[in-house]
A and B are shown apart, each in its own frame.
Chain A
Amino acid sequence: MSQGWSPVSAGDGGSPGGKLGLDPALVRRARELARRAGEPVVELARSHTTVSVERAVLRLAGVSGADPDGIPWVNRLVDAVVADVGLAHGAALPVFDAMVREFGPPSGWSSDPGAAVTLLAQKAAAGSVRFRMPTGRAARSARAAARRAVGAGLRRIDRRRAERERLVRRYGDPPHRPWIYLIVATGDIYEDIPQAQAAARAGADVIAVIRSTGQSLLDYVPEGATREGFAGTYATQENFRLMRAALDEVSRELGRYVRLTNYASGLCMPEMAVLAGLERLDMMLNDSMYGILFRDINPIRTFVDQRFSRQVHARAGIIINTGEDNYLTTADAVADAHTVTVSQLLNEYFAHEAGLADWQLGLGHAFEIDPDLPESFRLELAHALLARELFPDAPLKWMPPTRYMTGDVFRGNLLDGFFNLAGVLTGQGILLVGMMTEAVATPWLSDRDIALQNVRYVMRAAGGLHEDFVPAPDGFIQRRAHTVLGEAVSLLERIVDQGLLTAIAEGTFGIMRRPADGGRGLDGVVARADGYYNPATELLEAQMAGARTGGGQS
């Protein structure tokens, strides 16, 4: 899977400009500008922590479960640490200092640090433990104990990744590209399971369980198997486990590894990433700016959380899906096409910086041009091919029309057919199956069946058409792609000048204006003090540095 995803670059004899004749110097310039725009934000992420990052660290150390009101023990624990000593030094030191004081040296509890640290969380919630910032020898032993416990959590993630690689070898990847990605969203995990299994049997390669509306704004991860949700099912560790087990069962039956997707977005991005790694999810929605733009989450909170979550995804071998398609639901898909390209370049920079490899970058884009516009399909092809050629080794997530789906299901099915055709023509990696009942209701069983027939027909009838599809030199499609890339470079220049946070505040992406000092979750952001300690970041970054010097995938 580490080889290129692009049938386009494979089929064109390796000419440097590809099918679009893009100027390699301009492409390099675009990447360079994205790096310069992103660097100050990475610096911001390195110098801050958040309540959710610290909770994710403690989840890696093994804290699990929730109090009788459903508030996770990890929230109660971090709240207690915040009340006593704050988070500027991280939660690991005060927590593991308290562990040593409460339970004695680690040798006494290191066989099951998770149970011990969960017990500490319960005591902290009851007010029977106080936290302090250890110094000297106490600090050294707290550090060592924290590193050991968090290291054990990372090794659990490593084992799940190895398990996935083994299963993919045994059952195999889908025999076709793009992978067919289908959504399940009943609100009840026990309804989702048979629906997901049925979808896999009907041809889905990837199942995404949509989350309950509004979960992204919860500052905790709900616990246990859940049967109630609004337009989706709560993402919980237990729901992850149940669905992964169900898809393992159907993978065995079908002889093809069926992947599972959920969401690392919202206020609990880092914790979602940890839980996904622990339960062997295969893909996670993880966008650098979606939470800011569409959920009004504070920009700094988002960037700090995003960096940590992507470091965990990198370790877990998870493919991320970015959210550029969302911009086009509010902004115009033609006039603002270049904002998608800019966001893809930024997402790529942030992802590489966090240690993700190209094969893990499901960069998003969508088929959202007004179908009444003349040449709309040619414009779509130009945009889709531009993404393909800019990111030849990334899987690319191709999202179906939603904005101009009107409730006319017949026209919708036709539009979805054109969307599918654009997907195979331009060599997209992951195709989210469009529903002709988009804008009417959550998909019915029959809607999904009809939508899959549509995909199968197009893939069977025209699956290899990308080989023959070579846009005319200097023709409409090439010129359009050059225009969009040129506009993207100009916008990146402006962003570098004014700063990414200012650009976001001024509504550059998706029309939303989001100032850096506004939005939800700002009170959970803390500047790191000297001596801040986060064993997870230490271990994850040590591995990244090792991979770089070892000449592995960058």
Chain B
Amino acid sequence: MGKVKIYSTPTCPWCKKAKDYFKEKKIEFEDINVAEDDKARKEMIEKSGQMGVPVIDIKGKIIVGFDQETIEKELAK
């Protein structure tokens, strides 16, 4: 399975919640800090068409926000 990417900012509560969720499930993910990484920020905006965090990329499926139900559905695929 391709690595999960989480585009986040250090202060965003829902980003922390999302990261905690993946840690708890022992699913490896790449944490991308879009507050510092301009290139990644652009990539995130392009992929999701919006500017809210977190944005979670699971095998190319883009999920905006910590939407646990959708995340579980995608992980089960």
- State whether these chains interact: no
Question: Which A residues contact B (CB, under 8 angstroms)?
Answer: none
